[in-house]
Amino acid sequence: MRRVVLLAVVVLVAGCAGQDPAPPPEEEAGGQTPENATENETPEPGTGEPGDTDEDTNETDEKEPAMQIRSHAFADGEPIPEEHTADGEDASPPLNLTDVPDETETLAIIVDDPDAPREDPLVHWLMWNIPGEADTIAAGYPPSGDGKAFNASCQGANDFGNERYDGPAPPEGEGPHRYRFQLFALEAQLDVDEGAQREELENAMEGAVIAEDTLTGTYER
């Protein structure tokens, strides 16, 4: 009986040893297991994750160039030549107008001195209803022999009491004053009479300004 029991035990142990071990969890292609596969997945485009290739991210905003008023007589922030001041010919400087918006109907110009010894800037020149397609204003406006270079344009009364350009004339010894040549693009023609003053002009421009720019020159005595 004892020999029979021992024989049964040997047979049982041999049977267990012959069984194959349980296979490990199946791996997906690339050696990833189901548990870590989701950690290395590439995000789909448009999800806001790294790798997003939406077309919007590659688009660049195209902006129209800004309108400018400049002069070949002096650079912005630089001294105004004497010929364009009260100490010279008192002739307005040549002005170049660039990148004026297509929808501009008329242009206006205000020239003033914010450093004048008074409460409000001193007005040197007022001009409006300049044609919207104008790209230059000749020096010494209006040119000699032409009473009005632009037929529909008007000039207002400056603070010297004249309907024209009056150049820089700062008090002696005060150092440099700034002179602002302000250009306004308007969507309408202004119903303002010749000889009007600055306040009336600015009231008429209210709500009609499309774009604006300033050229600043300096002068001292």
Q: What is the CATH number of the domain that holds 156?
A: 3.90.280.10
Domain count, the chain: 1
Half-sphere exposure of 67 (CA within 13 A, CB side): 22
Question: Residue 48: inside a domain, yes or no?
Answer: no
Q: What is the pLDDT of residues 168-203, one digit of tens each?
A: 999 999 999 999 999 999 999 999 999 999 999 999
Question: Residue 25: inside a domain, yes or no?
Answer: no
Q: What is the pLDDT of residues 50-108, one digit of tens each?
A: 555 555 544 445 677 999 999 999 999 999 999 999 999 999 999 999 999 999 999 99
Looking at per-residue confidence, does 1 or 195 come out higher?
A: 195
- Flag whether pLDDT at 39 surpasses 90: no
Question: Residue 6: inside a domain, yes or no?
Answer: no
Question: Residue 91: inside a domain, yes or no?
Answer: yes
CA distances (Å), 156 to each of 6, 110, 218, in order? 128, 10, 23
Instruction: Please give the pLDDT value at position 58.
Output: 47
- Residue the block writes with tokens 């997906």: 28
Question: Residue 54: inside a domain, yes or no?
Answer: no
Instruction: Please give the pLDDT value at position 142.
Output: 87
Residue 178 is classified by DSSP as E
Instruction: Please give the pLDDT value at position 90.
Output: 96
The parent domain of residue 91 ranges over 68-219
In this structure, the strands spanning 95-98 and 136-137 are antiparallel
Question: Residue 38: inside a domain, yes or no?
Answer: no
Question: Residue 142: inside a domain, yes or no?
Answer: yes
Measured CA to CA, the distance from residue 155 to residue 194 in angstroms comes to: 6
Cβ neighbours of residue 148 closer than 8 Å, sequence gap 6 or more: 142
Instruction: Please give the pLDDT value at position 43.
Output: 52
Measured CA to CA, the distance from residue 86 to residue 84 in angstroms comes to: 7
Among the listed residues 210, 122, 188, 214, the one whose alpha carbon sits nearest the alpha carbon of residue 159: 122
Instruction: Please give the pLDDT value at position 9.
Output: 44
Question: Residue 173: inside a domain, yes or no?
Answer: yes
- Flag whether pLDDT at 7 surpasses 80: no
- Flag whether pLDDT at 6 surpasses 50: no
Residue 30 is classified by DSSP as T
- Are 187 and 164 in contact, with CB atoms under 8 Å apart? no
Residue 72 is classified by DSSP as S
- Flag whether pLDDT at 109 surpasses 90: yes
**Binning pLDDT at 50, 70 and 90, where does residue 114 land?**
very high
Q: What is the pLDDT of residues 146-166, one digit of tens each?
A: 767 788 899 999 999 999 999
Residue 172 is classified by DSSP as T
Burial of residue 53 (number of CB atoms within 10 Å: 0-12, 13-18, 19+): exposed
Measured CA to CA, the distance from residue 109 to residue 150 in angstroms comes to: 13
